[in-house]
Structure 1
């Protein structure tokens, strides 16, 4: 594991979550979906109003990557300074990073996963919607709702009851032959895999309540590190089964396209 870490006590990212992060799959030293990660980071810097480091600084950690599959975590904060919540007039952002070896869970690609609804509801904040900012306490609390190893993820709704995402993955489904994903203009993280899939596939962004999944022919979770997991079972917050899906051809089509983007296997036997 390689890293550049260490934080002073007046670091605003630690004190207030005043910053952004990216989690990037690195294959033989090459970052996957790199342009999408850089674009999201740039959007975040614009919203938070502090400068984006030069590309050379963001790419420097890649010089430490070996030939094995790894995950690069970049953490970019506003740095130190300011008084209380008031940000400094001229911030000096602080960049830290870590490279860790990574092995994806291929069994979840193949057999699909069991997921559940979470009780926690995401707050609405359109200004921050889509960004991967450091304020992730909602996700931490949601992930704490289950501990059984058979449950892979938890689905989250917003405070108005709309489907948003899983605790650390984006949500997709097919209904009446149409691919759909929740609209993320009020809250949630717009994943880089999601953004690239929206560019290359006719996926509709929709407002939907949880009942929509009952009529879905196929459901998936995906992100730029794990790839795409087909959903085989959906449970209530109490662990009671609500819906089952047989993993088949429909699931494999979206999975193959996503995995081709990440360099993962695109042919998986049903």
Structure 2
């Protein structure tokens, strides 16, 4: 189910700039029990991304009202903000009215062994583009990720890592990357390309609560294969350990239990209920 500007709608105008140019941004969130996980962080990041490409971010109250109309309980929620509709040509008037799309999809179920034993990862030949102006922004131009995901059909491979033009690891096709090495939890610097994911930020906060050192740094493929542990993260799947990368195997790390426990606490603390609790019936 989806809404376009608050109305049930399954179509959008072909004049919309998202359709013509990928001109917009999006966020994907996890909803459990009628509550959005880490909503405040997602909305803040949505505001930042809209500002980065110069479009007006819809009011928080509008987006929440849209979600309430769709009454999600356990679901994946997605927000798409487009610059609006124009005729052909890259230019657009400054006062263009944005379109907001809110949709709900089924929440995927990942096997328990993914979180306990880890998942297999490959390296993609498709590279991420160098573009500092869009670095970190979750914009709608995701063709590189589409091409990267087309590189494999083996169901045993869960994810692919994407490198930049300098052979630096940037991110996964659908995830951010976290690395534990020398007792420091790090993630690749995303000042030239890539997407700053909310869950990566959350994991950093969870690690710091345990007194861990965290940092953003450059990672090359030969370096990351020597790490103590590697994780993939996004807002839907949470935190998944990597068990295999380029024939290098990683045993389950004790840090996984600590991080998952800390994440569980943060989830409970930062959930934002969009649906009212069901009324208690008198027995």
Same topology, TM > 0.5: yes
Match 1:214 to one of 225, 248, 262: 225
Structure 2 counterparts to residues 1-270 of structure 1, below 5 A: 1=1, 3=3, 4=8, 5-64=10-69, 66=71, 68-81=73-86, 83-107=88-112, 108-200=114-206, 201=208, 202-235=213-246, 241=247, 243-262=248-267
- Shift of residue 250 of structure 1? 2.4
> CA separation in 2, counterparts of 1:114 and 1:32?
27
**Which residue is 1:238 aligned to?**
none
Give the structure-1-normalised TM-score.
0.90
> CA separation in 2, counterparts of 1:149 and 1:67?
29
How many residue pairs get aligned? The number is 257
Give the structure-2-normalised TM-score.
0.86
RMSD: 1.7
> CA separation in 2, counterparts of 1:255 and 1:189?
22
- Shift of residue 184 of structure 1? 0.7
- Shift of residue 120 of structure 1? 1.0
Q: Which runs of 5+ in 1 are unaligned?
A: 236-240, 264-270
> CA separation in 2, counterparts of 1:117 and 1:24?
26
- Structure possessing the higher relative contact order (Cα contacts under 8 Å, 6 or more residues apart): 2
> CA separation in 1, counterparts of 2:145 and 2:77?
20
Q: Is the 8 A contact 1:194 1:223 kept in 2?
A: yes
> CA separation in 1, counterparts of 2:265 and 2:252?
19
- Shift of residue 203 of structure 1? 1.8
Q: Is the 8 A contact 2:83 2:96 kept in 1?
A: yes
- SS of equivalent to 1:122: coil
